[in-house]
Chain A
Amino acid sequence: MSKVGAVAVVGGGVGGIQAALDLADSGFKVYLIESDVSIGGVMAQLDKTFPTNDCSICILSPKLVEAARHPNIELLSFSEVKGLSGEAGNFKLKVVRKARYVDETKCTGCGLCMEKCPVKVDAEFEEGLAKRKAIYIPFPQAVPRVARIDPEHCLYLTKGKCGACKKVCPFDAVNYEDEDKELLLDVGAVIIASGFEAYDPSKLYQYHPEHPDVVTSMQFERLLNASGPTAGHVVRGSDHREPKRIGFIQCIGSRSTAEGKPYCSSVCCAYATKEAMIAVEHDPELEVYIFNIDVRVFGKSFEEFYQRAQKDYGIKYIDSRPSGVGVRDDGSLYVMYEDHESGKVKTMDLDMVVLSVGLDTNPKIYELAEALGIKLNEYGFVETKMEAPVCTSREGVYVLGAAQGPKDIPDTVAQASGAAAKAGALLAEARGTMIEVPELPPERDVSGEIPRVGVFVCHCGLNIGGVVDVPAVAEYAKTLPYVVYAKDNKYSCSSDTQELIKEAIKKYKLNRVVVAACTPRTHEPLFQNTVREAGLNPYLFEFVNIREHVSWVTRDDKEKATEKAKELVRMGVAKAVKLNPLYREKLPLNHSALVLGGGISGMTAALDLADMGFPVYLVEREGELGGNLRNITQLPDGRDPSEIYEPLIERVKSHPNITLYLNSKLVEVKGFIGNFEGKIETPEGEKIVEFGAAIVATGARELVPEGYYHYGEQENVITQLELEKRLPGINAKSVVMIQCVGARCPERTYCSRTCCMEALKNAIRIKEESPDTQVYIIYRDIRSYGFMEELYQRARELGVVFIKYDADKPPVVGKDNVSVYDRLLRSNLTLPADLIVLSVPMVAPEGAEETSLLFKVPIDVVSGFFFEAHVKLRPVDFATPGVYLCGTAQGPKNIPESLSQASAAASRAATLLSKEYIEAEGIVSCVNEDVCIGCEVCVPMCPYSAIEMREREVEVDGKKVVVKKSSINPAACTGCGTCAAACNPGAIEQRHFQNNQILAQVKAAFNFPQNGGGA
């Protein structure tokens, strides 16, 4: 039976969206099934994201729009999965589309119904801090932007009264008779992306969650947000005053057996740090205290973020976690905590308390797991194995993100692409069988035509029309040169207006279209598609923003608003008449990949790509595969590491799509995305290979801790990896482990993420083998995040002694002892030590610099690891197109994290390799060689190395001379236009933002363009 080339992704948060986009981009049909009204998940609710404090919705929103508009993605919002039958490759998935009471095909999201609805209910999106109506769109950037009626609160549906929304809806979209509908989908694979739910602290009475000044971290996130319930002003619920002193209490619903949540939620320390920093940015006088057990900021650049929070923002971390919040008779709040400097219990008054709630399992997961027939672990997260972090207990069903265990956004996004790779490999033979290529009419050739501009001015209901005199603007547009048609529309984005625009293009032979409405950042693609459907090149369209830039910000002066709107339309028309059609150049593509590095990450990436049907060249410097895992003698679960790497090695060696080069070195790379050429030095001589994409999986190595704690001078001082080799059978009475040796220090500021677990694992091994051996772990913070908290618990049960030290009072190593100041006991201890084990960080491997030069990819100056394109949303992409990274080359990480990233890199490469050809950007820069003087100023301007100088033969005074001319590779150009601004002779033009186009706009800001010029 042939396989089905469609995948269901269950859950439309950032992880589900990423998996859907990867699969849709590599030729699969995707059903994106979201149980809520809009996709976006928790990320849509966040104000900022750590550690860069990027605006969360700003980086998410383009992904929402992309998912909604993708021709291969069918978005099923407000739908639930009810059952799965069949087998991997050929499933039948039962889905119920819940009654929304609003017709998705008719609703334009204008919001009139929300204005008229008389019922107010606590808004879930605002965490109950604001109200919504019974008919509502959860947030402004919601996708789909379609209202939903809440049947529990709607007056018509509960009492048969009202009906205001139906009356006011201009599109007749309200349908009170709507019912649940059942669908049966044919899919080859299912990906679970159901995420998490923030822990509900309402039963933890000791923290007084009912007190108006005690909020959860999710509520605080909304308070910080400019579009949140208080417009970004942090105020207390009790008196709406700004707090002067805030305390965060960590581990609410985490690391607590009493609360039934023994695991660590992994993200709370970092998000509390972020929220604290933003709060201080809002009010520099604010005091913030974070009460914690350990500060677990283990991700890439998180430690530096935490240090900055203390140094630059004055945020205080107190390593004593209060067991409750006190409320005085006057309602004021306080906490009691142990002050480790004085050893006394102190009381601190707080104006506001933030409960840092953990990542709880999504309550819907139990029903979903039953419907899909997959196993959950004891905490209610989807069970996976260490060597298969995105595979569930059922073949063909995959998982990603917080549904599998608490994790942050980049780890979720990596797993998302990883799950997409597994589904893509399973269904490789069915790629491209279920997708439709939309048929478009041929494009009309407008060259040589005199510009005929059509202008459409939008009322946007009352959003624009309530302030700007829209018909007057349309009338004014008619007076502008080259404008042959102008009209005002109630809603320019509604589907009937799209038809009107298409008709007008045909009837009036328009060859340029201007829409004056909202922002191009969200709506430009819609109108570009519309003009394309009418047979015009999509770049013959210009957008004028008279909502965000006029009506919404000039509310009280209608006359001036109208005047400004007219001038903006004038500028838009001036640019429009100079627009040229643009084409996305099609370039040939080599469908092979090169993977650099034969550790478990490199092997996994190579195998995933090979399984998807792409030829792979795997290049390894050493004589054998397996990388660092060969230095480990036991996994945390007690198994032999060869159980992980041996099956991979066997498959790599026997896979028909993989060509393996051992003892080999990549020494030269030429070309660009889709068309690279590499030179490999192999024992058999030089080999030239051609490939379309490359994955850097060069790994990391353990720091050699020379200069630290007499390492190399004293025989009993060893590293954790050296200890591994001696286990079992070390025969010591007392072992002292020292954490953060050469990490989290001025010379190496980062946290190496895995060393705590390595120490815990080895401590447990020693204790299990010889219970009488004393094991001490001297630490700064134990960062056993996620379910690895179990290791910490197990070590304590076995009697491992933990001693917390201060970074500025490091331990002192003697011949057979270690002295240390115990920060929690406030006393100096001297511990006997037969063996002193240093936990040292992972550092970038030798040769990283060379690799960086080969592919022109950056290295993070702080850590020395490779630097990805975007810390949150593109963890395995390089900014250089066609080059990806994974595993410890990107930063320290453990086995499942490396494997997730490896599959993710394969998936990202597959989105490229599965195409027939490469399509360059339309808006790229190009060189007029006749004007270029070969000055080379443009070459270093390009951050993507897309410009090179090429030799050209020209004739000067009858003689042939070879000169240099600038040449821009359209495949690598991202269209920023920096080179065009730098080109003095004006030889470089950025298409769609040409000099004459921008200058026309500038002129039209002041003058009625008399000679608007031709195209």
Chain B
Amino acid sequence: MMAEEWEPKIVLFACNWCSYGGSDAAGVARFQQPPTTRIIRVMCSGRIDPAFVLEAFLEGADAVCVTGCHIGDCHYINGNEKTKLRYSFLERVVKELGIEPERLRLEWISASEGEKFANFVKQVTEDVKKLGPSPLKPEGVQ
């Protein structure tokens, strides 16, 4: 029997108004995706505390995605601008922790961009599969 191919686990933060809508749109249009994402909904990507992202890595995430509305489209005027700033901070921290930069991702996805959402999930999954499990993954965690 062949060993089953390893599937990464990806924590994906999505904002209620755009990228979560994009994930719904992907579903409505039946854009198939690898079953790797665990989506956590927040009202605005500006709510995503860097601590949530780091916690996800510590728990065993092979990748963490931060997603929100396109710049200029934020439901809360400019929450995603703040996300962008926090993300650049996270990029530095992740680098210092020895995590490959491909494991931390930022993408702006509108509520209508179902295909973009699905392609994004496929791309991240593919990239992470090449890297293998996260170096921070605790033992015994899938």
Contacts and interface: CB of A to CB of B under 8 A. Distances in A.
Interface in A299-319: none
B5 to A, nearest CB: 11
Interface stretch (A114-122, A489-497, A543-551, A834-842): A543-551
Contacts of A52: 73
Nearest to A522: B24
B32 A976 contact: no
Given A553-B27, A995-B49, A1006-B9, A521 B82 contact: no
A993 B11 contact: no
A556 B112 CA distance: 24
Contacts of A568: 38
Interface in B1-49: 7, 9, 11, 16, 20-21, 23-33, 35, 37-44, 46-49
A931 to B, nearest CB: 15
B111 interface: yes
Nearest to B42: A993
Contact of A976 (B9, B39, B79): B79
A208 interface: no
Nearest to B115: A226
Contact of B35 (A55, A521, A550, A982): A550
A557 interface: yes
A667 interface: no
Nearest to A1003: B59
A946 to B, nearest CB: 11
B115 to A, nearest CB: 7
Given A521-B16, A999-B55, A560 B35 contact: yes
A58 B111 CA distance: 7
Interface string A545-571: 101111011111100110110011001
A581 interface: no
Nearest to A543: B41
B40 A571 contact: yes
B67 interface: no
Interface string A986-1015: 000010010100110111011100000000
Nearest to B33: A553
B125 interface: no
A201 interface: no
Contacts of A1005: 9, 11, 38, 40, 56, 59, 61
Contact of A999 (B9, B16, B48, B52): B52
A981 B21 contact: no
A519 B16 CA distance: 11
B35 A1006 contact: no
B141 interface: yes
A71 interface: no
A648 B56 CA distance: 63
A545 B39 contact: yes
A54 B86 CA distance: 26
Q: How large is the interface on A (under 10, 10 to 19, 20 to 34, 35 or more residues)?
A: 35 or more
A227 interface: yes
Contacts of A564: 35, 38
A980 B55 contact: no
Contacts of A941: 46, 82
Given A993-B47, A1002-B40, A561 B35 contact: yes
Contacts of A879: 77
A58 B55 contact: no
Contact of B56 (A232, A552, A1002): A1002
Interface string B48-84: 1111100110011100000000000101111100100
Contacts of B24: 519, 521, 545, 548
B27 A552 contact: yes
Contact of B110 (A55, A553, A560, A923): A55
A138 B38 CA distance: 32
Contacts of B47: 976-978, 980-981, 990, 993
Nearest to B53: A1002
A232 B39 CA distance: 26
A55 B112 contact: yes
A623 interface: no
A995 B49 CA distance: 9
A83 interface: no
Nearest to B48: A981
A1002 B32 CA distance: 24
A814 interface: no
Contacts of A58: 21, 110-112
Interface in A522-549: 545, 547-549
B62 to A, nearest CB: 11
A975 B33 CA distance: 31
Contacts of A554: 32-33, 35
A943 interface: yes
Contacts of A140: 28
A567 B61 CA distance: 14
Nearest to A141: B28
B43 A998 contact: no
B129 to A, nearest CB: 14
A1 to B, nearest CB: 46
Given A58-B21, A226-B115, A982-B82, A549 B39 contact: yes
B118 interface: yes
Interface in A42-61: 48, 52, 54-55, 57-58
B40 A1001 contact: yes
A548 B23 contact: yes
Given A553-B26, A1001-B40, A977 B55 contact: no
Nearest to A990: B47
B20 A975 contact: no
A943 B76 contact: yes
B52 A1006 contact: no
B17 to A, nearest CB: 9
A338 B46 CA distance: 53
A974 interface: yes
A231 interface: yes
B38 A998 contact: no
Interface string A939-974: 001011000000000000000000000000000001
Contacts of B41: 520
B142 interface: yes
Contacts of A977: 42-44, 46-47
Contacts of A998: 40, 42, 49, 52
Contacts of A571: 38, 40
Contacts of B111: 55, 58
Contact of A553 (B7, B86, B112, B118): B118
B38 A567 contact: yes
Nearest to A983: B49
B79 A978 contact: yes
Contact of B59 (A552, A556, A990, A1006): A1006
A943 B79 contact: yes
Contacts of A545: 24, 39
B42 A1007 contact: no
Contacts of B11: 1002, 1005
Interface in A24-72: 48, 52, 54-55, 57-58
Interface of A: 48, 52, 54-55, 57-58, 140, 226-227, 231-232, 519-521, 545, 547-550, 552-557, 560-561, 563-564, 567-568, 571, 879, 923, 941, 943-944, 974-978, 980-982, 990, 993, 995, 998-999, 1001-1003, 1005-1007
20 contacts: A48-B112, A231-B29, A520-B41, A521-B21, A545-B24, A549-B39, A568-B38, A976-B47, A976-B75, A978-B44, A981-B82, A1002-B56, A1003-B55, A1005-B59, A1006-B59, A1006-B60, A1006-B61, A1006-B141, A1007-B59, A1007-B141
Given A547-B27, A548-B24, 20 more contacts: A55-B111, A232-B115, A519-B20, A521-B16, A521-B21, A545-B39, A548-B26, A548-B27, A549-B39, A553-B32, A553-B118, A555-B32, A557-B35, A560-B35, A567-B38, A941-B82, A977-B44, A978-B47, A978-B79, A1006-B59
List the 10 closest A-B pairs by CB distance, nearest first.
Answer: A548-B27, A55-B112, A977-B47, A978-B46, A976-B76, A943-B77, A976-B44, A552-B27, A58-B111, A1005-B38
